[in-house]
Structure 1
Amino acid sequence: MDGGGGLMNRSVLARIGPALFAFSVLAYAAFFALSWFAFSNELYLPIFRVEEAARQALLLLLEWIVPLTAAAVVPALSLAAGSAKRGGPALPFNQIVASAVVTFLVLAAGVIAISETAGVGSSRRLDEMRWQTRLARQYKDLAVKSRSGQDWSRAVDYDRLYLQIDPDNQEVEGWRTGDDERASSQKAGSAAMAVAATKPSTGVDAGSLVKKADDYFKLEDWYSALWYARQAEQIDPTRADATRLAARALQQINGSEPPREQAAEWSFYDAKKKAFDALDRKEWTAAYYQFKTLALQRPADADAKRFLDEAGRELGRLAFFSDDADTAAALPGVEKLLWFNVNDAAATEVVWAGRMVTITREDGTDRWFFDVEAIRYDAKGAVTWHLSAPSARLSEDETMLLLKGVDRIDPKKATEAVYHAGSRLVAERNTLRLGKGVEDLPIHTLDRAPLAGTSMAELWRIRRSLARTDRLHMEVTVELATRAAKPFVLLVVSLFAMAFGWSLRGRWTGRAPALAWVAAPAVVAAVGILVQLYLHAHRVLLGFAVLSLGGLTAAAIALGVLQLVLV
């Protein structure tokens, strides 16, 4: 009998594997076909069709893996031979359960591994493709708008951004080529810019800056020589050569002062000197607008252009340009973000952003925030300050939000943070420290919870970083507990399927009854509905345990008791 039992065990287990493989392959093919024909051109670019169908089919397969397993187990056991001898009694069910439980545990581990790798990656990628589709279409609209205004350079930029997402789009590639030619013609027709005969050396240490200043001095570019010599002095005050070079350059600047009788030349010279002094005092906003005026007056002046760029770069560390914010505002992003910047015994700081837009460029990534509002409470619950700002840009080091926007032409057109209560230091009024990693912010959206695209390890890390009072803490805890319950769900349903399939096997004739041949489709539908109810009941129970009993530990105990009762 033991030998016969072992033979029967191997026979039954050998039937489950091929049956499950066949059902999974057929189901994946069916889901792929369904996703292919249900493809939405509104949600995805045509270039994403194959990938979307493949990833969507995988997610559907993982969603239906429990009823599919049950559907595979039922016919596999129903069609098993009756006994070692035809006409003998059926092998007792309890003799195959132990080996089958091990099989289902291994299967459950494999399903979880696939879910947490390929499944999570597919959810994240589908969300990314939807976002890229919206972004590409906005880029195309902005290119058309720029083209209608004959702003060919900006149209080329938007064409290139679109082609980063959809590189095989021949229509947009044709637009880019035409826009590029027009932009080149437009630049060629403008006033020629002064070009240095030789290229100064590069570097940021004191020695390199002195070498760069000397190169400019030899080119008789006195302002650039003075600027880089003074930069070298700030880095290393002991560099006498930098001091001497700065003095020589300043002497040349003073010696090149035009006669006052030449009013236009003298006025331009005086304005340039004042702008340079503002730049030297690190008054970036004043320097930017002064050099901007000079560059508009004389586009061919190399000093005005060079130091306008320098002032613009430094100003960009403290503020952003309003036209860039307006462009970003037209793009899609993650909406309704709410997070804690600070939440401890000393203070609580809550930040709201109506939308976060991410723009990937060739030279980096820009992140913009719109409809920003933040409030800070002290330990007693009193409001320390409360501010709002229409838009903000993330700083280059991704540590703070810049709340001040400036216009490229008019210094009077600016947006700043508005304080509805309290105040802060002048240096801090238009900045807001970011208390979260920027990559973690999308998880804090109220509009949708992108938990499906986050692995359990990442969810656990996020949960540990959240305060218990955070809304997201409970959602992440329930999600973790629900995912932890999935292997037990698979085990319980598979054991019930075993019992059902075993009851259908032909006991005396060695053949299964006709019901076994048609049971599989009915099992998939019935078990699919029951599993959804089963999972919903799990989620309700785990949510109750998390809210009422104090957290994940209580949820784990409730989950363990439930599974022991069912198994």
Structure 2
Amino acid sequence: MVSPVGRIVRGLFVCYLVSFVLVMGWAYVMGKAEAPVHPLLAASWRLYEGVADWLGGFLFFHLLSVVLVVGFFSSRYLLVQQDVRDRFRILQGLLVFVVVEAGAYLLLQEGVKPLVIRNARHLEYRTRLAEEFLEVYERAKERGDGATMLQALRSYTRLIPSDESYREELRTLERERPTVEEAGEEEGFPAVPHNLSAGEALRLAEEAFQKEDAYTAYYYARLAHAIEPSLVEARRLQAKAWDAILREEETASSRKDKDFFAAKRQAYERLMEGDYLGAYYAFMRLREERPRDADVVRYYEEAREQVESYAFYYEEIANLSDVGGIPRVFFARRGDDRVDFFYLERVIRVAEGTYGFGVEVTGVGREGSLVYRLRAPYAKIERGILVLHCVGRSDRSVRFLPEREGEVPYDPAFLVPVGLDVDQLLLLGGTGWEGRTLSELFQLVWLPDRVLLPRGEITTLIYIRIYRAVLFLIGSFLVLALAWRGRYRAARRSWGLLVVGGPLVAAAVWWGADMMDKGGARLIAAAMALGGSGAAVAVLVVGSAVLLGLSLLLLVRAMR
């Protein structure tokens, strides 16, 4: 046998289901005539928008359900419960249910609702990207540029995979134009030891020289001399090793060997002079020619490691153009004598790293004058640094450096400190505040002070979100008390009474919920503007306590 509380809870869930069906029906049938997304994405977009609308109005649906179920549909059954202890048990069960439901409401508002809003905005962004790729495709088609047509159509079909018409065009293009195999990953080699003392480097140089490994001996001897310039033995060994390198080149048995040793020496000189990118490409060619040469293998790895310390490979981002990512990351960072503004059109986070597209960094002085500006098509974000230097992994003709304007205060100019980790940076882009969870809003407020944000606005929104969670309890208690009192008048219920009085009750509930919601939010915002965070917290705590106490008092009196 179902308990009285069980019957009421079951009726409430039926009302919730009916409200959800009505809202989703409105979203699909009577919503926006044209969804701001691709037609093939419209159904998913309407689903997300419908769920967001239902969660946005859930407080009203809940309060109206309590009025209908407790005050009307269950009124005759509840009237039988004349014993005070029976009524107390029913109300106690309802109170427990309301408190549990308030926790579920908070999870829905701060977990599910921001997620579906983000998904809807992501579909809108995917549509914009797809339209851009279609424009590129159409322009390339007019020019007869088959390679650009193929790439643009591939990107479009990754964004809109269910568009069969363009997928058929893509298959036709791929049959006409053979697929070019992408370059594979580089093979790994043992790295050169770091953090050596001058004595340790000299010992390694002597050991290498005894083994007739002139390149390794020269490397460590030069390193020992750089660490401790007064170390005469290191300088002497460096000269001996260089002579051995030249003799190795002179005594080569064939012209091919002489050319190889000369190229290796030139590549090594580039490495020692700090031209790491040139040394990287030179040792790459030598490694392809003689992959078992120990010197080439070692110094290729050394050059590659140095290049990756200040640049990233174009191949890392070549296939990310059709990945949605997080759009429009924008923030400002305060410095001693200027403010730096960062804008990234899109940020994509994948397993290989985090990358930015359409990057602009602008420095503005105290008087509003332009100090510098950097523009780059691509960037990689790692270790709090914005790397604006992009090179080809194997093609030295592929290189992207930022366009510079003014006097750039960074050396080199393509390594710009951001002062934020990747997780913090991603918080600053994407949807507006409605798509943020409560925990994300707290993280934004706790960002370093040098990051300029509307902290007052964000803090106000946090307080309003907390108030709305408490408002669910307050409204539930108030409506439960009124419905419990009204059950006597509705005991002789009729469907005519429901048809006539239902809309009036719904309008009254809507007005009351809207007044408590907006009135409390405006009061908190006014307190924040006039008295700061302390005044807003006082209004939130005192106001919530008063309203909660009043609603509980009315509920106790209704029980009597």
TM norm. shorter chain > 0.5 = yes
Query: Residues of 1 paired with 2:383 and 2:81: CA distance?
Result: 76
Q: Which amino acid aligns with 1:487?
A: A
Taking structure 1 as the reference length, the TM-score comes to: 0.67
Q: Give 3-state SS (helix, strand or coil) of 1:31's partner.
A: helix
> Does the 8 Å CA contact 2:358/2:377 hold for their aligned counterparts?
yes
Matches for 1:486-505 after TM superposition, within 5 Å: 486-505=468-487
Q: Alpha-carbon deviation of 1:479?
A: 1.8
> Does the 8 Å CA contact 2:424/2:447 hold for their aligned counterparts?
no
Matches for 1:50-449 after TM superposition, within 5 Å: 50-76=43-69, 77-82=71-76, 99-184=93-178, 202-205=188-191, 250=249, 256=255, 278=270, 281-283=273-275, 318=310, 334-335=327-328, 337-340=330-333, 347=336, 350-358=339-347, 366-375=355-364, 386-391=371-376, 393-395=378-380, 397=382, 399-403=384-388, 415-419=402-406, 424=409, 427-441=411-425, 443-444=427-428
Alpha-carbon distance change, 355 to 362 in structure 1, aligned in 2, over 3 angstroms: closer
> Does the 8 Å CA contact 1:153/1:179 hold for their aligned counterparts?
no
> Does the 8 Å CA contact 1:120/1:453 hold for their aligned counterparts?
yes
- Give the root-mean-square deviation of aligned CA atoms: 5.5
Worse-matched range after superposition: 395-404 or 360-369? 360-369
Q: Alpha-carbon deviation of 1:22?
A: 1.6
Alpha-carbon distance change, 160 to 279 in structure 1, aligned in 2, over 3 angstroms: farther
> Does the 8 Å CA contact 2:427/2:440 hold for their aligned counterparts?
no
> Does the 8 Å CA contact 1:336/1:355 hold for their aligned counterparts?
yes
Query: Residues of 1 paired with 2:109 and 2:23: CA distance?
Result: 17
1:555 and 2:499 are equivalent in the alignment:
no
Query: Residues of 1 paired with 2:279 and 2:217: CA distance?
Result: 20
> Does the 8 Å CA contact 2:333/2:451 hold for their aligned counterparts?
no
Query: Residues of 2 paired with 1:527 and 1:332: CA distance?
Result: 41
Q: Alpha-carbon deviation of 1:111?
A: 0.8
Give CA deviations for 1:281-305 in whole Å, capped at 9, x if unaligned.
44257779999xx9xxxxxx989xx
1:33 and 2:29 are equivalent in the alignment:
no
Query: Residues of 2 paired with 1:478 and 1:403: CA distance?
Result: 37
> Does the 8 Å CA contact 1:443/1:449 hold for their aligned counterparts?
no
Q: Alpha-carbon deviation of 1:112?
A: 0.7
Q: Alpha-carbon deviation of 1:182?
A: 4.0
Seq. identity, %: 17
Alpha-carbon distance change, 395 to 468 in structure 1, aligned in 2, over 3 angstroms: closer
Q: Alpha-carbon deviation of 1:130?
A: 1.8
Aligned length: 495
Q: Which residue of 2 aligns with 1:193?
A: none
Alpha-carbon distance change, 351 to 528 in structure 1, aligned in 2, over 3 angstroms: farther
Taking structure 2 as the reference length, the TM-score comes to: 0.68
Give CA deviations for 1:54-110 in whole Å, capped at 9, x if unaligned.
322221121111111121111222233458888999999999665544332222111
Query: Residues of 2 paired with 1:47 and 1:233: CA distance?
Result: 64
Q: Which amino acid aligns with 2:19?
A: A
Alpha-carbon distance change, 370 to 97 in structure 1, aligned in 2, over 3 angstroms: same
Q: Give 3-state SS (helix, strand or coil) of 1:417's partner.
A: strand
Q: Which residue of 1 aligns with 2:228?
A: none
Q: Which amino acid aligns with 1:372?
A: V
Q: Which residue of 1 aligns with 2:546?
A: 565
Query: Residues of 1 paired with 2:350 and 2:145: CA distance?
Result: 19
Q: Give 3-state SS (helix, strand or coil) of 1:391's partner.
A: strand
Query: Residues of 1 paired with 2:132 and 2:441: CA distance?
Result: 32
Give CA deviations for 1:153-207 in whole Å, capped at 9, x if unaligned.
44444333333333333333333333334442899xxxxxxxxxxx997524469
Match of 2:510 among 523, 528, 538: 528
Query: Residues of 1 paired with 2:144 and 2:424: CA distance?
Result: 40
Unaligned runs of 5+ in 1: 1-6, 188-198, 208-227, 260-265, 295-300
Using CA pairs under 8 Å that are at least 6 residues apart, name the structure with larger relative contact order, 1 or 2: 1
Q: Alpha-carbon deviation of 1:498?
A: 2.9
